[in-house]
Amino acid sequence: DPFYVEVSTARVYASNPRKAADEGSQTGPQTVQAGYKLEGDKRVMGVEGLKACILRPAIVYGIGDRKGLMSRAVCAATYVNTGEVMKFLWDGALRMNTVHVEDVCGAVLHAGENREKFEGKVYNLADAGDSDQQRVNGCLGEVFGVEVGFFGKLISNVARINMDGVVEVANDKHLQPWGKLCAENNVDTVLSPFIHRELLENNHVHVDGSAISRETG
């Protein structure tokens, strides 16, 4: 019989810096897409006779990533020649839990091969690193040899008053030098430093991904 695996997102959970979200945690979609994903999860589970499970990955990175960590990596590349400090809103404690795309694919295959364990279940996908913004930006700083920092909560909260304008200025700041870099090096790419406003809000992607290993092997 067919078995359906819905790949959702851990951004369906309400932001919580203190406690990692498990599969039973309160939902509160952090983005418009996450809202639709949550509705999709409910509808999949509500289809009579459909054998299915839901997988909710944290921030996915690796091959094929365009909007997970890659946008930040592209941003970092634009600072190599400017000597400026790459600063992001909020502070280093903002949780940015991650999972590699190969682990996501592995989980999908694992679900398909162990249907009896997964049927009707929801499982989070997140590595044990419990990454935050400090760690992610620190790694990017090391890779590209640029200095990184944060605006802090005070300035970031002031920025929220005109968040659309702040994000527009930030994206313009990165898009222009990125376009120049690509042109100078004859690079034609779909990668972009553009980051959507929703992904710059003070929302923690804080996920407990231990249940899938504990319960399904």
Alpha-carbon span 89 to 87, nearest angstrom: 7
User: What rounded mean pLDDT belongs to the chain?
Assistant: 95
State pLDDT tens for residues 135-147: 999 999 999 999 9
Q: Per-residue confidence at 73, pLDDT binned at 50, 70, 90?
A: very high
Q: How many CA atoms are closer than 13 Å to the CA of 26, on its beta-carbon side?
A: 5
Provide the token pair at 193.
Answer: 């430093």
Distance, CA of 57 to CA of 98 (rounded, Å): 8
Category of 159 on φ-ψ map: left (φ > 0), alpha (ψ -120 to 50) or beta: alpha
3-class DSSP state for residue 18? coil
Among the residue ranges 25-34, 111-120, 152-161, the one predicted with the least confidence is 152-161
Q: How far apart are CA 179 and CA 78, in angstroms?
A: 9
Per-residue model confidence as pLDDT tens digits over 81-136 = 888 999 999 999 999 999 999 999 999 999 999 999 999 999 999 999 999 999 99
β-sheet bridge partners, residue 175:
none
Q: Is the pLDDT of residue 211 over 90?
A: yes
